[in-house]
Every structure is written in C-alpha cells, then in structure tokens.
Amino acid sequence: MSSQRRTKVGGVILAAGQSSRYESGNKLLATVGGTAVVRHVAETACESSLSDVVAVLGYEGVAVAEALEGLSLSVQHNDEYATGQSASVRHGVDYAQESDWDAALFLLGDMPFVRVETIEALIETYRTESATIVVPEHEGTRGNPVLFDDCHFDALASVSGDRGGRDIIETTEQTAFIEVEDPGVHWDIDTDSDLAEFTDRRDSL
C-alpha cells in the first residue's frame, strides 16, 4: 500500500468478553475516577485522530452500550463472544472492510490507561513508514493497542480462539515495534487488584 493511501485508520474496541477472572462483575463497567473502564478506552479513541471508531460488544452488551452513550462511535454486537476474542476481531474486520479502512487499530476494552499520544504515535508510524503492523513497546516489552494494515484483514478474520493477531505479528517481517513512554500499554485489567494497582500507579506518575 502506498503512503498516499494510508489515510483512513479506524479503531476497533474489543469489548465483548465475559470478565471471567474479575471478582466484582463485569470489569468493563468497573470505574476509574467515576467513569467506566470501557468508556475511558472509548473516550481516548474518540479523542485521537482515528477516522472512525467501532466498539464490538457481547457479554452484557446492553449495559456496556449504555456506558458508551453520547460518544461518536458505532456499535457492533458479537453473539459469539463466548468462543473467544477472535470472534470480536472478525466483527471488527468486517466493519473495517465495509467502511473501506486502510488500517485498523485494535484496542482492548479492559485497558483504560493507554494514552492518546500512544495512539497518535502508532498512526504516525503507519503513515510515514512501510510497516504493515505497528506495535507499541514500553521498556522493551510489547503491548497494546496494535495497528494492522488492510492487507492483514483476511488473515485476522481467520484467527480462532483467543490468540487474536499475535501469530500474524510474529510472522510478518514488516512489523514496526515503537517504544512509547506509556506503561498503560501493558495495564490490562483482569482482577480487582489489577484495577487498584494500575490506578494507583497511574496516579503516582
């Protein structure tokens, strides 16, 4: 893909999971500073220069959709959410292809501490370099969200289970790993203690 075409980068928020390890219900609806975790993710995406944003919902989809009310994004419902993250990825890819995106940035709905600047760095790298996948790293360890050029959409749609796009990242030569000053790329919330720890660490920065 030529750099001239690398203009329409959309965001897919994966927010369909069952929060099976989270002790207090649905982790996406847990709050940080009075705002639902998933809404933090969506607000960051909407604040960025992403051309479009879609949230893929599943488990407790009505409640999660209510947490996103008023934001400039679309919602897709994944009835197969129990089969793993890959089903939500497929829904996101379908939306991206129907919307003629040049690339999709996949954001995890349980990672509320990712900074807008990180999203912008990923988009800028994609638009100015030849990479077809752009992955953030913090202190040498890769994290999320990850950007995929549309040449990978069919491969992403064929992934199964919870692997997401990791196999594609690991086998693609044109992957750019960019260092970001954002520990939030590692802070995914699985448990009550995760939420408390990461909130405290964020507040201490």
Can you give the pLDDT at residue 2? Answer: 45
Average pLDDT of the chain, as a whole number:
94
Residue 13 pLDDT grade (very low, low, confident, very high; cuts 50, 70, 90): very high
Read off the pLDDT band of 204 (50, 70, 90). confident
Residue 52 three-state SS: strand
What region does 29 belong to: left with phi over 0, alpha with psi -120 to 50, or beta? alpha
Q: Which domains does the chain have, with CATH numbers?
A: 3-204 (3.90.550.10)
Q: What is the pTM of this model?
A: 0.95
Are the C-beta atoms of 66 and 29 separated by less than 8 Å? no
Would you tell me how many other CB atoms lie within 10 Å of the CB of residue 196? Answer: 11
Query: How much of the chain, in percent, has pLDDT values that exceed 90?
Result: 87
Span 108-127, pLDDT tens digits: 999 999 999 999 999 999 99
C-alpha of 178 from chain center: 16
pLDDT of 167 strictly over 80: yes
State residue 4's pLDDT score.
56
Q: Is the pLDDT of residue 71 over 60?
A: yes
The token pair at 56 is 């893929």
Count CB neighbours of 164 within 10 A. Answer: 20
Amino acid 100: pLDDT: 97
pLDDT of residue 1: 46
Instruction: Decide if 5 contacts 173 (C-beta within 8 A).
Output: no
